[in-house]
A = this chain, B = another copy of it.
Amino acid sequence: MKFYRTLHPRPVAIIGSGDTNKEINFMACSWITPIAEDISALGFACDKGHYTYELIQKYKQFSVNIVEDLDLIWKVGTSSGKEINKAETFNIKFKSGKALSVPLIEGALANLECKVIKDVEIGEVMFYIGEVKHWKAQNFDEYGYKEFWKVPLHKSGKAFAFPSKKLRFLK
């Protein structure tokens, strides 16, 4: 049994990497978390065997894209950018960021542009901590997504959940 499943279901993102003028890649990731607010920082775990790792080592930047499209998440999560050009193969529509030349997936619930400020090696993983240089989200207010039930949550393997529509408010 896997200890990390105790922290699932959890949101899944698509990480964009590279430079839109040169080479790019996308991967799926649910091992991601906000880290700080005074410095707008978040972090995610990247296997050092991934093409995304090579691109982030090279360009020191990445994007975080929250998308509703589970099929796209699955496709980018089960293929390697070392073997195929995922953007072309899966017909991913993207544009370059405003602050950084990272690829942002169009039509996403949210896109965040991050510059690597620290990388921490833990076994086979590089945990990248990025400062958010620019971000935008659709249908979003001070409480977060108005339609928060659209945020995909990875349970395990091929199984995904979504947040319940019903909230519980504490007193």
* A residues whose Cβ falls under 8 Å from a Cβ of B: 1-11, 13, 31-45, 64, 66, 70-71, 74, 109-110, 112, 117-118, 120, 122-125, 127, 129, 132, 135, 137, 140-145, 148-149, 151, 153, 155-164, 166-171
Contact of A32 among B3, B7, B160, B167 (CB under 8 A): B7
Q: How long is the Cα–Cα vector from A5 to B9 in the complex, in angstroms?
A: 17
9 nearest interchain CB pairs? A4-B34, A5-B144, A39-B123, A6-B110, A161-B163, A33-B33, A36-B125, A38-B123, A158-B170
Is there contact, CB below 8 Å, between B163 and A158?
A: no
List of B residues within 8 angstroms of A43 by Cβ: 33, 43, 127
List of B residues within 8 angstroms of A132 by Cβ: 3
Is there contact, CB below 8 Å, between A155 and B144?
A: yes
Is there contact, CB below 8 Å, between A40 and B170?
A: no
Question: Chain A at the B interface: mostly helix, strand, loop or mixed?
Answer: strand
Q: How long is the Cα–Cα vector from A171 to B157 in the complex, in angstroms?
A: 11
Q: How long is the Cα–Cα vector from A3 to B6 in the complex, in angstroms?
A: 25
Contact of A7 among B34, B124, B156, B160 (CB under 8 A): B34
Given contacts A34-B31, A164-B164, contact A3 B159 (CB under 8 A): no
Given contacts A7-B13, A13-B7, A144-B5, contact A35 B162 (CB under 8 A): no
Is there contact, CB below 8 Å, between B36 and A33?
A: no
Given contacts A34-B31, A35-B127, A127-B129, contact A163 B120 (CB under 8 A): no
List of B residues within 8 angstroms of A125 by Cβ: 35-36, 41
